[in-house]
Amino acid sequence: MTMAAKRKHNGIKGLGLAAALLSFAWVFIYLTPPDFDVSFSPSLTPAEQRYLLSLKKRHSGISRTLTETEARNTIANACSFIERVKGTKEIYDTPAARELLFGTACTESGLRPRFQDKHGTAIGLFQVEYATFLDLWNRAIKIKHPKLYKEILRNYAGEDKRIRFEDLQLNDELCAVFARMKYAEAKSHIPPSTDLEAQAKYYKKYYNTDLGKASHKSYLKRRAEVLGRGK
């Protein structure tokens, strides 16, 4: 091969390599999912950290949005389920509880179930944290409400008869059940459904807590934004 031919051959190879690198860069920039860093608690085992990272890779980003009607129906079904299992009347399923859960879903996810956008481990329509899920499932529900625990397994578990954290993303009604039981832990009267200001403050105190970044004002703002989206 002459020197000129070699230079031409090498030039073609160089162009091919450059094209391959550009193609790789395109895939990396446009097809690679966003930042998957998660702020893990030191108490989490390596297996738990891997599990949560896998959930973030599968469920981060907005893939679906519930309408107001769909969200309210989901909440109504969850509250009705708890009330029915508990055998109570107007304790877990009230207009106040339903409205509070709707406002909570608007504030936490904007009715767009997903794994938490940035750092953190929250998931689903109500952005339930992993630690909160474990505490509710293994302590609050299992020990304090054993009948409800069994019925949740019977109604919402898969073939393996287990409830996993990921199930709160896959089943909005189940996520609503957990959100309602988180509020039930407060043992404080839920403000009337007509008093949105009081409900917003209740959300901040008992759901988002002092550790959360939301405020009662953001609750009202995000709720209004979701309702305005449907007009």
Q: Where are the domains of the chain?
A: 1-32, 35-229
Residues 191-219, mean pLDDT to the nearest whole number = 92
Any idea which residue has 């339903």 for tokens? 98
What's the pLDDT score for residue 216? 87
Report whether pLDDT(25) > 60. no
What's the pLDDT score for residue 137? 98
Q: How far, in Å, are 14, 18, 19, 43, 173 from residue 10 at the CA level?
A: 6, 12, 14, 55, 61
Distance CA 128, CA 207 (A): 10
pLDDT confidence tier of residue 199, bands split at 50, 70 and 90: very high
pLDDT confidence tier of residue 32, bands split at 50, 70 and 90: very low
Q: What is the pTM of this model?
A: 0.82
Report whether pLDDT(18) > 70. no
Contact between residue 198 and residue 204 where contact means Cβ atoms under 8 Å apart: no
Average pLDDT, the chain: 87
Higher-confidence residue: 36 or 167?
167
Distance CA 231, CA 221 (A): 16
Contact between residue 204 and residue 219 where contact means Cβ atoms under 8 Å apart: yes
Enumerate helices (H) and strands (E) in the chain, giving the number of each. Answer: 11, 0
Backbone angles phi, psi at 171, to 5 degrees: -130, 100
Distance CA 86, CA 44 (A): 33
- In this structure, is the dihedral angle defined by the CA atoms of residues 43, 105, 118 and 222, taken in order, positive or negative? negative
What's the pLDDT score for residue 107? 97
Largest CA distance in the chain: 93
pLDDT confidence tier of residue 34, bands split at 50, 70 and 90: very low
* CATH code for residues 35-229: 1.10.530
How far is residue 22 CA from its own chain's centroid? 36
Distance CA 179, CA 79 (A): 10
What's the pLDDT score for residue 17? 45
Report whether pLDDT(131) > 90. yes
Residues 79-104, mean pLDDT to the nearest whole number = 98
How far is residue 155 CA from its own chain's centroid? 20
Q: Let me know how long the chain is.
A: 231
Any idea which residue has 């446009």 for tokens? 30
